[in-house]
């Protein structure tokens, strides 16, 4: 196909349409949870997370920190769907998957809050495609 030809125009249009339909990637710096959701997650973590990950998620002998450099070293470049799924499928250790999906989302929001990522106007949704589009980054873009 040569530039300027009809086939080239059709392919270019198709690529533009597909690109417009794909949800743009966001980062955790884009305010992807609300303060209220983070608070609910903090309350939920008291009974579900603190015993292993320590108060304020600083880590303990039983579980790694879920905030700070150690958290970012593990999760930088990954997305919130991966974090949600890891928590949902492995926590709490004595009963993985026993919390509601909303409670797991709230805990993800609390982890983001504890790491200093800003809150926004919308809650983290229970939509896997949206969660996959939110990348965890260490520095504000």
C-alpha 125/C-alpha 104 separation (Å) is 11
Give residue 40's pLDDT. Answer: 97
Give residue 132's pLDDT. Answer: 98
Give residue 10's pLDDT. Answer: 43
Give this prediction's pTM: 0.82
Residue among 56, 71, 80 at smallest CA distance from 138: 71
Give residue 23's pLDDT. Answer: 55
CATH assignment of 25-135, among 3.90.79.10, 3.40.50.150, 1.10.760.10, 3.40.109.10? 1.10.760.10
Are the beta carbons of 136 and 80 closer than 8 angstroms? yes
* Domain spans in the chain, listed from the N-terminal domain onward: 25-135
One digit per residue, the tens of pLDDT, for the chain of length 141 reads 455 554 444 444 444 444 444 456 899 999 999 999 999 999 999 877 888 898 899 999 999 999 999 999 999 999 999 999 999 999 998 899 999 999 999 999 999 999 999 999 999 999 999 999 999 999 887
């Amino acid at each position: 196909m040569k530039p300027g030809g009809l086939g080239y125009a059709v392919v270019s249009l198709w690529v533009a349409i597909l690109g417009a339909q794909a949800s743009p990637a966001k980062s955790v710096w884009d305010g992807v949870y609300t303060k209220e959701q983070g608070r609910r997650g903090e309350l939920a973590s008291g009974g579900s997370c603190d015993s292993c990950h320590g108060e304020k998620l600083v880590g303990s002998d039983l579980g790694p920190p879920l905030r700070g450099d150690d958290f970012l070293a593990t999760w930088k470049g990954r997305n919130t769907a991966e974090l949600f799924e890891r928590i949902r499928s492995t926590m709490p250790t004595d009963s993985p998957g026993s919390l509601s999906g909303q409670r797991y989302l709230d805990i993800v929001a609390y982890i983001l809050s504890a790491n200093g990522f800003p809150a926004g106007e919308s809650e983290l949704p229970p939509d896997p495609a949206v969660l996959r589009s939110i990348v965890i980054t260490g520095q504000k873009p």
